[in-house]
Amino acid sequence: MTPAGVPVPDSPRPVTAGLGNTARNFRLRMAVIDCETEAALDRTRDRHGRTVHAGAAAAARTHRDKAAVEAYTTHLAPHAEALLDAARLALDTLPPARHLAGWRAVLEGLDACATEIRRALDRPAAPGSSAERAQYRALWPHLTAWAEHGSIASSLADQHGRQPQKDPLTDEEQRMWTERAQAAQRRGALDLTESWYAADGQPITLAYLVEDDESTVVALRGDPGIPGWRVIGHYAHEYEAGKELPAAVPPGVLRADASRFNRPAPAPEVSVQDLLRDVVEGHSAGDTANALLGAVQRGHQAGPMVRLQELLETSGQFAGALETAQGRQIAARLSALGRQIEFLTREVEEAAEDLGATVAVLPPHRTPVLRIRPRPAVDTTPPAPPPHTTTTARHL
């Protein structure tokens, strides 16, 4: 018997209308579950991020696992096989590109995950038992794989059966419009608005070409930051461009092993507000020195300045991974800023150590001011109000 969704000789191809929405609906539901779980887990931590209610945290994750299984069963389980079949068929029709091997590996991984989920659901444990909780917990990585990467299968299924779109302009028209757009770019009148990748791996960018106080939406193919890009179409508005141009495919990721749904436990950290409060409420040089050292602390419980440097470095990696001319320039800028933060961090650390070595306290003449004035005793007579004086109006 041929599995559902797999075409047999001389039979029509499987119906793919709406298949892509099944994975998108599941991802949306998983995003809601993730947000609800994070909110519940936040209530189990102290202000520094340490878990202080382990039982409540475990209960939140158990509820998450069960909700994820129910969402998969409702939104995706009846369609997963047909969705993968349609995605594979579409993948076989695409022109060669760098990302196709990775997409094929993702589809195989999703197929393996669907098989594991189906095998577990075919042998359900007793409802509410510890075995059921363990079963759902084991399924969580397979469910999150579909939530995070099912968009690739959805995109391919949406493209299945579509006719390849051709450039709407002739070679001569492309040359003319490209020259106009290049001239506008040189005078700062080419405003980029949106960018995506087509299925062939080529970037497409929408821009407003401004000439004589009038603007036209144009589509560029290639990197607008380096020579070689060209205009492949012009449109009255962005909606028309979206209908005519190749559809966007799912963008890539900075790190292949990163997972929104399987984040590591947050490292305990002290906020800048807490450090500032320590300084304001402190009395000795050591109090302020400790606050400054907390800002530049390294390691698992890194301070805010060290985290800022990590943010700049990671953002620089992202900018470089865009593989565009502007991305590489910004990556270099962020790298330089990261080095400046590193230098500043060392300076703050040295200043904190010097401040702590002063062994000094604030002088007593810096007297605190009471926030609430003393009230008179209950059995005392309140002071008489000042006499009411009237001012005689002057007549000129």
In the chain (396 residues long), the average pLDDT of successive 10-residue segments reads: 38 56 93 96 88 94 97 94 94 93 97 96 92 95 96 88 66 95 95 94 94 92 93 93 90 93 87 95 95 94 95 97 96 97 97 95 91 69 64 48
Name which of 48, 61, 56, 159 is nearest 103 in CA terms.
159
Helix (H) or strand (E) holding 156: helix 130-159
CA 357 to chain centre: 43
Report the C-alpha gap between 20 and 249 in whole angstroms: 13
DSSP class of residue 194?
A: E
- Look up residue 280 and give its two tokens: 């304001």
Pairing of strands 203-211, 214-221: antiparallel
Q: How many other C-beta atoms can be found within 10 angstroms of the C-beta atom of residue 122?
A: 7
| Count, residues in the chain | 396
Residue 164 has, within 13 A of its CA and on its CB side, a CA count of 8
Q: Look at residue 364 in the predicted model and tell me its pLDDT.
A: 94
3-state secondary structure of 208: strand
CA 219 to chain centre: 27
Name which of 140, 117, 201, 153 is nearest 22 in CA terms.
153
- Identity at 182, one-letter amino acid code: Q
Q: How many other C-beta atoms can be found within 10 angstroms of the C-beta atom of residue 348?
A: 16
CA-based end-to-end distance of the chain: 113
CA distances from 251 to 31, 103, 201, 232 (A): 18, 12, 10, 21
CA dihedral 116, 122, 127, 128 (to 10 degrees): -10
Please answer whether residues 42 and 120 qualify as being in contact, where contact means their C-beta atoms are separated by less than 8 angstroms. no
Per DSSP (E only), the strands in 227-299 are 230-235
Report helix angle 80-93 to 19-42, nearest 10: 120
Report the C-alpha gap between 72 and 273 in whole angstroms: 42
Q: Look at residue 266 in the predicted model and tell me its pLDDT.
A: 81
pTM for the complete prediction? 0.83
Name which of 53, 45, 68, 50 is nearest 262 in CA terms.
68
Report the C-alpha gap between 212 and 57 in whole angstroms: 62
| Angle (CA) 282 285 290, round 5° | 75
Q: Look at residue 270 in the predicted model and tell me its pLDDT.
A: 87
Q: What are 234's strand-pairing partners?
A: 218
